[in-house]
Amino acid sequence: MAIQSLVFHRIQRYQDDQPSQVSLAEASVTSGADHEALFSQLKKQFQFKAGKLFGQFDNNIADYPFQVWLKEYLDGKIRFERLSLLYADKFKELADKTSDIFANYICCIHEDRADGQRLYILLLETSAGLLIDNSLNLDTVEHLNTSKLDLAIRIELDSINTPDDSEEPPLVFVKARGAGKLGEAFAQSVGFSSSIDTAKETETLMQVLANYTKGNDPKEGANLRQKAYEFCVEQQQVGEAVPLTELSNHLDENEPTRFAQFATESSELTEDKALHPDTRKLKHLVRISGKGNGLSLSFSSDLIQQTILFDEKQDTLTITSIPKSLKQQILEHIKEKQD
């Protein structure tokens, strides 16, 4: 089984001027098919999340002792249950310094895989639902919301004992935009320190792709940018980085090194570089979107100055080929107004 150890704890606070309340499990769960199914869903949520952060442990072990406890666990000095209790206490200490209101389950999972071992710490949320009980009365029930994962971290355990064997950062952090101060407390609870500037890598890759396709036929350039975007999304969904050489091969199998050579000559990238682009921003390669003042607009980027004309001086967009369904809605709306 993939799950070697699993522990749930509960932490909640309903008033910002009160400390959080923690319910601690003293023993790990004997995992079964339901636990494996839950873990599978959570892993998919983790892998599919865009905008992940990559890093390592902060060297200040006095303020961030989790890496010390983790090393003791891996050396067999403490049990997994003890590691999770120490972590939960540290997270509570940091969460109590915020003013956030929350109610979550802390899920700690040691995963044993053929290609290595990992530790997941996931902050799970719940949702309320309705059910009809055995007496045929309507009642409410609280259940785990497996479609939402705002805070989570994955630790490559093999890199703790052999830190020089892998070029990939040992910590991968999921933090939703609305995580607030609780998200900062979550990162500090394990001593997460960012080691890769994903924003810079994303901007560099977008600029290189834009320059690479600049001289191409518009349709060919759009196709190359689409292929690059799709490849990066596929890599993200399997939890892997984007090696520049593999991306280059994907873009042109006949000349597999062409893009990689162009990238190294025109930017600070190297051919052995593995990128971690934010696919949310990378999507701008293939789609342009925005909303405000009652308007929401999204269209393929290759339509710019083709069927969608932008006049920067006048600050206007002119659409020369209106989708049939949109045109029909506009005509119906105008007719209703006239009537």
DSSP string, 105-141: EEEEEEEEETTEEEEEEEEE-EEEEEEE-TTS-EEEE
Based on the domain organization, do 9 and 151 belong to the same domain? yes
235-274 residue pLDDT tens? 988 888 999 999 999 999 999 999 999 999 988 888 888 9
Based on the domain organization, do 56 and 186 belong to the same domain? yes
Based on the domain organization, do 109 and 245 belong to the same domain? no
**Which of 154, 175, 194 is at the close of a domain?**
194
Based on the domain organization, do 149 and 32 belong to the same domain? yes
**Which of 164, 194, 224 is at the close of a domain?**
194
Based on the domain organization, do 185 and 202 belong to the same domain? no
Structural domains in the chain (count): 3
Question: Can you give the pLDDT at residue 161?
Answer: 66
Q: Are 221 and 251 in contact (CB under 8 A)?
A: no
Residue 258's domain comprises: 198-282
36-95 residue pLDDT tens? 999 999 999 999 888 899 999 999 999 999 999 999 999 999 999 999 999 999 999 999
Question: Can you give the pLDDT at residue 33?
Answer: 93
Pairwise CA distance, residues 324 & 296, whole Å: 18
Q: Are 123 and 150 in contact (CB under 8 A)?
A: yes
Residue 69 in tokens: 């406890």
Tokens 């972590």 sit at which residue?
Answer: 87
Based on the domain organization, do 181 and 235 belong to the same domain? no
Based on the domain organization, do 47 and 181 belong to the same domain? yes
Question: Can you give the pLDDT at residue 259?
Answer: 94
Question: Can you give the pLDDT at residue 332?
Answer: 81
Based on the domain organization, do 83 and 146 belong to the same domain? yes
Question: Can you give the pLDDT at residue 166?
Answer: 57
Question: Can you give the pLDDT at residue 44?
Answer: 92
Question: Can you give the pLDDT at residue 67?
Answer: 95
Tokens 């049990």 sit at which residue?
Answer: 79
Based on the domain organization, do 269 and 212 belong to the same domain? yes
pTM of the complete model: 0.82
What are the phi and psi torsion angles at 111 (to 5°)?
-105, 130
Based on the domain organization, do 19 and 163 belong to the same domain? yes
Question: Can you give the pLDDT at residue 164?
Answer: 55
What H or E segment, with its residue span, contains residue 335? helix 324-338
The DSSP 8-state label assigned to residue 62 in this structure reads T
Q: 275, exposed or middle or buried, with CB in 10 Å at 0-12, 13-18, 19+?
A: buried
Residue spans of the chain under pLDDT 50? none
**Which of 194, 226, 246 is at the close of a domain?**
194
Question: Can you give the pLDDT at residue 165?
Answer: 54
**In sequence order, what DSSP letters do the residues of 212-243 get, joined into one string?**
HTTTS-HHHHHHHHHHHHHHHHHHHHTT--EE
Based on the domain organization, do 241 and 150 belong to the same domain? no
Based on the domain organization, do 305 and 275 belong to the same domain? no
